[in-house]
Structure 1
């Protein structure tokens, strides 16, 4: 399974990180989820 910036789970985690509920280091290592969320939050995706 591969996540993209348009995946629902990525969008949920990005919003949770952006509002401060979670930090990037708390995103679970699930396939490429953490990498994609990090890219979106940092504006590189």
Structure 2
């Protein structure tokens, strides 16, 4: 029972990190559109 709960938790964590990755990619693409010369602030 505990193993299933841990598996569910890790699955939820991976989904959250995937959402963060898509959000970061979206922010980066928006920054690329605003910076035509490909400059990066990071």
- Of structures 1 and 2, the one scoring higher in RCO (CA 8 A, sep 6+) is 1
Greater Rg over alpha carbons, structure: 2
**Normalising by structure 2, what TM-score?**
0.34
| TM-score after normalising by structure 1 | 0.32
Which structure carries more helix by proportion?
A: 2
